[in-house]
Structure 1
Amino acid sequence: MLVRIVKMSFQPEKVDEFLSNFEANKTKIRAFEGCHFLELYRDQNNSNIFFTYSYWDSEDDLNNYRHSDLFKGVWAKTKCLFNAKPEAWSVDKLASLK
């Protein structure tokens, strides 16, 4: 399983636009083939910084999403809202405690 973490920093006046776009598309992203988990986090000290965490069966599944019309549409509406370059990591989960 691949875990994808994406950090995004938005223009403060564009945060609501980002949240609206995420709300409109989160179920479709989560339902994409190979995606098993999706969460959105907001930084407690910088309210215009967000993180997404998603779990994918494989890098191929993530790449299929990243090349999909769904991603292209979401990203087109998201990238113009940034105030800094987004950062992304693909990581392996080593431990999980509940």
Structure 2
Amino acid sequence: MVIRIVKMTFKLEKIEDFLSFLEENKHKIRNFPGCLMVEILQEIGQPNVIMTHSHWESEQDLENYRNSELFNFVWSNTKIHFEDKPEAYSMLSLDKL
């Protein structure tokens, strides 16, 4: 399993725009082949810092998503609201529990 965490810092006045957009489209991401789960996290004390935390069956599934029309649509409508450069991490789960 691959875990993907993306940290995004938004312009304060654009947070609601992004969250509304995500609400309209999150089911498409969650239903993408190989996606096991997606959650949206907001930092306490810094509401303009939002992270996505997703689990993927494999690296190939994540790459398929990152190369998809859906990703291009979501990303192009997300990055226009950034205040700072995003950070992204792809990790393998070592937890066997």
Q: TM-score, length-normalised on structure 1?
A: 0.94
Which structure 1 segments of 5+ residues have no match? Answer: none
CA RMSD of aligned residues (A): 1.2
Q: TM-score, length-normalised on structure 2?
A: 0.95
The ranges of structure 1 where at least 4 consecutive aligned residues each deviate by more than 3 angstroms after the TM superposition are: none
Q: Secondary structure at the match of 2:55?
A: strand
Which structure 2 segments of 5+ residues have no match? Answer: none
**C-alpha separation in 1, matches of 2:45 and 2:23:** 22
> Which residue number corresponds to residue 56 of structure 1?
56
Alpha-carbon offset, residue 34 of structure 1: 0.3
How many pairs does the alignment contain? Answer: 97
> Which residue number corresponds to residue 45 of structure 1?
45
Aligned AA (2:3): V
**C-alpha separation in 2, matches of 1:75 and 1:11:** 16
**C-alpha separation in 2, matches of 1:95 and 1:2:** 11
Aligned AA (2:78): T
Q: Secondary structure at the match of 1:80?
A: helix
Identity of aligned residues (%): 49
